A = this chain, B = another copy of it.
Amino acid sequence: MKLPLLQKYLKVKGIDLAFLIHPDSNITYFTQMEPSFAFLLIYPQKAEFYLSLLDLPPKLSKIVIKRVKKGWENKLKDGKVKKVAINKETLTLAYLEKLKKIYPKASFEDISFLLKELRSKKTEEEVKKISRACQITDKAFQSTLYQLERQALKTEKEVASFIEKRFRELGAEPAFPTIAAMGSNGAIPHHLTSPQKLRKGFLLLDFGARYKNYCADMSRVVYLGKPGAEEQSNYELLLNVQEQTIAQIKEKIPFSHLTDFAKEQLGRYSSYFIHSLGHGLGIEVHEAPSFSERKNKVQDGHVFTIEPGLYFPQKYGLRIEDTLLYYGKTKVLTKSPKELIAIRPFS
């Protein structure tokens, strides 16, 4: 259903072909594989996938597989092509030069908005894969809690490695490098997991599995030891805001309204919330819909995160993040518990 929609657009607009070239996650979207090098030519009536000789060709029903051979630029050369669709968000200037040589008479038309639109509306099959990725993420978290309880993990690195090992055991990969941030390290939202020893305080975990090319993304915070009153209340404020924001989601609500709502609820704490409320995800861990484009609204088939955070420099960071699907109603796909879990032995 994805390819025909794009092909229909090309036909209507009188575009000869769309030329997508690696690296571009849309190639994975249409072919379900991550090639070392490849390009995809989509014509109104057919599609050709030129793949490096180094890769095993995927099984595709509506796309003919060809091999990239030396001098492919010359072999493709076509003076009759008048209009070529490209993705301006991934096409580099160097490749545009190449395309201009292959299609010397063509004009180039951006279809990045259309690709984003297609990508953002997940099919049932895509939702199944993302749901499975979320389930694996939940399972890995559950196992991690168990390991933390029995004090089997001693450092941030060990926690992250354990999570990623569980992903692999469950048939997935990490969708992105796992973040495990102890105490003040958590105040850097993208902290690089380090050999830092676990100790009393908040441990922030941001992780997600990638299953059959589709991502999950979840953040949870646990407390090693017994939290103080202020720590507990800051956590509860954030959790409350996250849950209330999720409750606001409805069809056609602009993502920017959700952001405004979350900030309003955070009140004077909103200055400690220094990133976006969320992001679409699917093949990429960040993809359309973007929360920062004001025109974007919640629509059926959207999969995205809601992840408010509070970052207290030199003290600690909190982030509670779920992956959600909207289809008629909101469905939270990551189901791990969110009440603050205190892991006793570190008191």
Chain A positions within 8 Å of B, measured between CB atoms, are 36, 52-56, 86, 88-94, 96-97, 110, 112, 157, 161, 165, 168, 188-192, 274-275
- Docked CA distance A110–B52 (Å): 27
Contact residue among B88, B190, B274 (Cβ-Cβ distance under 8 Å from A92): B88
Contact at A189–B54, with CB atoms within 8 Å? Answer: yes
This chain: copies in complex: 2
CB distance from A109 to the nearest CB of B (A): 11
C-alpha spacing A189/B157, complex, angstroms: 32
C-alpha spacing A192/B173, complex, angstroms: 12
- Which 6 A-B residue pairs are closest in the complex by CB-CB distance? A88-B93, A54-B189, A54-B190, A56-B188, A89-B94, A88-B94
Residue of B nearest to A112 (CB): B94
Could you tell me the dominant secondary structure of chain A's interface residues? loop
CB atoms of A275 and B54 under 8 A apart: yes
Q: A53-B275, A161-B165 are in contact. List 6 more A-B contacts (CB 8 A).
A: A52-B190, A55-B188, A88-B92, A88-B94, A93-B96, A157-B168
Bound CA span A56–B185, Å: 9
Identify A53's interface contact among B88, B161, B274, CB under 8 A. B274
A56 touches B192 (CB 8 A): yes
Q: How far is the CA of A174 from the CA of B161 in the complex (A)?
A: 13
User: Which residue from chain B places its CB closest to the CB of A187 in the assembled complex?
Assistant: B56
**CB pair B88 A56 closer than 8 Å:** no
A89 to B90 CA separation, bound complex (whole angstroms):
11
CB of A95, distance to nearest CB on chain B (Å): 9
Interface centre among A55, A92, A110, A275 (most CB of B within 10 A): A92
Residues A161 and B157 in contact, CB atoms below 8 Å apart: no
Q: How far is the CB of A147 from chain B (nearest CB, A)?
A: 16
Nearest-neighbour CB distance to chain B for A286, whole angstroms, equals 9
A213 to chain B, nearest CB (A): 12
- Chain B residue, CB-CB nearest to A91: B93
Bound CA span A271–B274, Å: 56
Contacts A36-B190, A190-B36; A54 near B91 (Cβ below 8 A): no
- B168 engages A56 (CB within 8 Å): no
Q: List 18 A-B contacts (CB under 8 A).
A: A52-B190, A53-B189, A53-B274, A54-B188, A54-B189, A56-B188, A56-B190, A88-B92, A88-B93, A88-B94, A88-B97, A89-B94, A92-B92, A92-B93, A93-B96, A93-B110, A161-B165, A165-B165
Neighbouring B residues of A110 by C-beta, 8 Å: 93
A115 to chain B, nearest CB (A): 12
Instruction: Give every chain B residue within 8 A of A54 (Cβ-Cβ).
Output: 188-190, 274-275
Taken together as a complex, chains A and B put the C-alpha atoms of A192 and B86 apart, in Å, by 29
Compute how far the CA of A80 lies from the CA of B5 in the bound complex, rounded to whole angstroms. Answer: 45
Closest to A108 in B: B93
Whole-angstrom CA separation of A165 from B275 in the bound complex: 32
Q: How far is the CA of A86 from the CA of B86 in the complex (A)?
A: 21
Contacts of A188 in B (CB 8 A): 54-56
